[in-house]
Amino acid sequence: IKVGWLKTYENVVRGTDLVDWVVRNFGYKVEEIIETLQRLLAKGFLFSVDGQTSFKNSDTSLYKFQADRTDIAANLGYPWDKACRKPVQVSAELLNKMICVFKEVTKKSEERKLLIQCDVIHKHPGFSRYLSASGELQGVDLTSLKTIEKKMFFLNVYQCMYLHFLLKYPSKEVSKGLIGKITSIVWDSTKVPSFFYSIGGLNFTLEEIKHGVLRGNRKTPGALFRNFSESDKRNLLPGDNEPRILFLTLDYPEIPETAEVFTEADSFREQLESATKKYLNRTVRFEELKGELSFPIIIQKYSGDFPASDEDKIKWVWKYFLGNSKFTAEEIIAGFHKGINKIEWNVKQAIKQSLPKLKK
């Protein structure tokens, strides 16, 4: 809604339009509607753009629902006033809820596009239940977590937030490379808005969870500084480096084929191994006759998280690649240097130059 010559408000509604809509759809009296909206305003579910404390049935009074605000955490739609359960349990249940929702509001087209049915999302009861349950993250006790539990918890939460973000702010059409495209039926977001969760009394963005926590507070690629200072309470895994988490913490706009729910510390490493194997076998390409080996863009983008040399990168990937049954990593590396099928293999070209350049 445009106000005056310069000011424009997004995702807002006029007081009169809101009252009229309730009258048309539910048939309540205007006085009852205003009283109910006043209660929603007082409890924070409805927000006055002008900072008014009383609801006004006016076409100059603009309101926004809490779920549409980008200046507060995306999981604050339902304030949590109950006792909180163990963090890993909470995050695992949330991820299971989100997986169910994501499957039901998306479908694949004949052109191998993933369609997000945006008009269905807000009507979906499972999505409402997810938003309500996500409020429990506000009060979880992060200080009680052991190192492996921190990884499990934040991997679950990252996947929840990432899918939530895709549902809330999908782009009109985003290329997925080998796994197709994602297309929004309704929404067309040209800019990425602020998106974060309140977790244990602290605010975390997707970037802060991935780089500040799960990557041990390493710099985001292309950034000058780390996400957290040494004294930041959110710096929970300083110096930790586990490159396998990169295959579960994808970067926008890549769409995950599956999600991995972590519940037990004993099976954590086995699940990471499995997720890594699935991802690499879907994205690594080795064509023997052409003498071409290509790695997913993650290997290039996060090169510093993996072994330093190109040869060691091949050895690392080859542990998970099912195409390794015919050749060993050592044979592949040797082939780059002495030639196979009259094709000169070059490690640097295969790993770096065969990949699309990163868009800045």
Question: What is the number of alpha carbons within 13 Å of residue 291 lying toward its C-beta?
Answer: 16
* Whole-angstrom distance, CA of residue 319 vs CA of residue 321: 6
Best-predicted range by mean pLDDT among 76-85, 124-133, 153-162?
153-162
- Beta carbons of 163 and 259 less than 8 angstroms apart: yes
What is the pLDDT at residue 179? 31
What is the pLDDT at residue 112? 61
pTM: 0.77
Residue 46 in 3-state DSSP?
Answer: strand
Higher pLDDT, 310 or 280: 280
* Whole-angstrom distance, CA of residue 88 vs CA of residue 276: 21
Average pLDDT over residues 323-334: 73
* Whole-angstrom distance, CA of residue 228 vs CA of residue 302: 19
- Six-digit token pair at 221? 């690629």
How far separated are the first and last CA of the chain, in Å rounded?
Answer: 32
What is the pLDDT at residue 72? 78
DSSP 304-358: GGS-SSHHHHHHHHHTT-GGGGSS-HHHHHHHHHH-BTTB---HHIIIIITSPPP
Helix residue ranges per DSSP H, the chain: 15-26, 30-43, 87-105, 118-121, 125-134, 147-168, 206-207, 268-283, 297-301, 310-318, 329-338, 347-348
**DSSP state for residue 123 in the 8-state scheme:** T
What is the pLDDT at residue 5? 56
Provide the pairing of β-strand 62-65 with 13-14: antiparallel
- Six-digit token pair at 75? 């999981």
Higher pLDDT, 260 or 124: 260
pLDDT in tens, 119-156: 778 778 999 899 999 999 999 999 999 999 999 999 99
Average pLDDT over residues 245-254: 90
pLDDT in tens, 195-238: 999 999 999 999 999 999 999 999 999 999 999 999 999 999 99
What is the pLDDT at residue 181? 39
